[in-house]
Amino acid sequence: NADPRLRRVMTSLVRHLHDFAKDVELTEAEWEYAIDFLTRTGQLCSDARQEFILLSDALGLSMLVDAINHRLPEGATETTVFGPFHVDDAPERPMGANISLDGKGELCLFSGRVLDLAGRPVANALVDVWSDNEDGFYDVQQPGIQPPFNNRGVFRTGPDGRYAFRGIRPVSYPIPDDGPVGQMLTALGRHPWRPAHMHFLITAPGYDRIITHIFVKGDPYLTSDAVFGVKQSLIVDFRPVTSTTEKWQAEFDFVMRPA
């Protein structure tokens, strides 16, 4: 008397697994290797490292699940992978604040608006942002080396829907490649790099949350992202500026759909 959804999911999973084994005529050695690979993947998992999510990401499964579950109306901002480096307790900072606390990297002014599908500003949206530092690491990857909450912050929009903050122009970085997923990439001749990006999580009462990035136009890894996260609409021209303390500016408007 299994749950109908469970029955459907498991019937399909088993059918496809069997088809796969028949298709490649899976050897016993390959089966044993797969069991060992998955065991090592699980053994590496901890609060600080989710190797199974990394595996899902590197196989393109995370982006597929995202696409299935976020068939967006015309005009809504496209989504992409959440990634493992978000923290729930990043501080809310005053509009315009600099989130780069380690003083490294080239400063960039990020700005834009949070809008609804009709183009009206969304007030009281929380714009939660995070990026790596100039060395290609998130603060949580280097506790005791980077200041806490380096390159993170939450900004609350006012009635005009605008947000602005300073951060670094993000740099490309490799996904953690010292475990089973890294071995898989190497064995397949794939590289572990992600194109430079700034992460955004945008929430507002009455709207579906947006989990996305903006990517830096011109990055060499835009066409070979290790986790398949790039969408054309998320690539932003980082423009040089001369007059201020920042070297760069990036503008992007986010469009939310109703919950």
Q: What angle do CA 245, 248, 250 make, to 5 degrees?
A: 125
CB of 173 to Fe ion, least distance (A): 7
148 binds, among Fe ion, ligand DHB, none (CB under 5 to 8 A by kind): none
**Can you give 107-133 as a three-state secondary structure string?**
EEEEEEEEEECCCCECCCCEEEEECCC
Cα 39 to Cα 32, 60, 150, 153, distances in angstroms: 11, 21, 34, 36
Q: Which of 89, 122, 105 is nearest to 166 (CA)?
A: 105
CB of 181 to ligand DHB, least distance (A): 8
Residue type at 208 in one-letter notation = D
54 binds, among Fe ion, ligand DHB, none (CB under 5 to 8 A by kind): ligand DHB
Counting other chains too, the contacts that 212-216 makes at CB distance below 8 Å and 24 or more residues apart are 212/77, 212/78, 212/79, 212/80, 212/254, 213/80, 213/81, 214/250, 214/252, 216/169, 216/170, 216/250
CB of 57 to ligand DHB, least distance (A): 4
Nearest to Fe ion by Cβ — which residue?
A: 83
Contact residues for ligand DHB, defined by CB under 6 A: 54, 57, 81, 83-85, 175-176, 194, 227
CB of 132 to Fe ion, least distance (A): 6
> Which of 81/171 has CB closer to ligand DHB?
81
> Which of 115/175 has CB closer to Fe ion?
175
> Which of 132/246 has CB closer to ligand DHB?
132
> Which of 130/163 has CB closer to ligand DHB?
130
> Which of 204/211 has CB closer to ligand DHB?
211
Contact residues for Fe ion, defined by CB under 5 A: 83
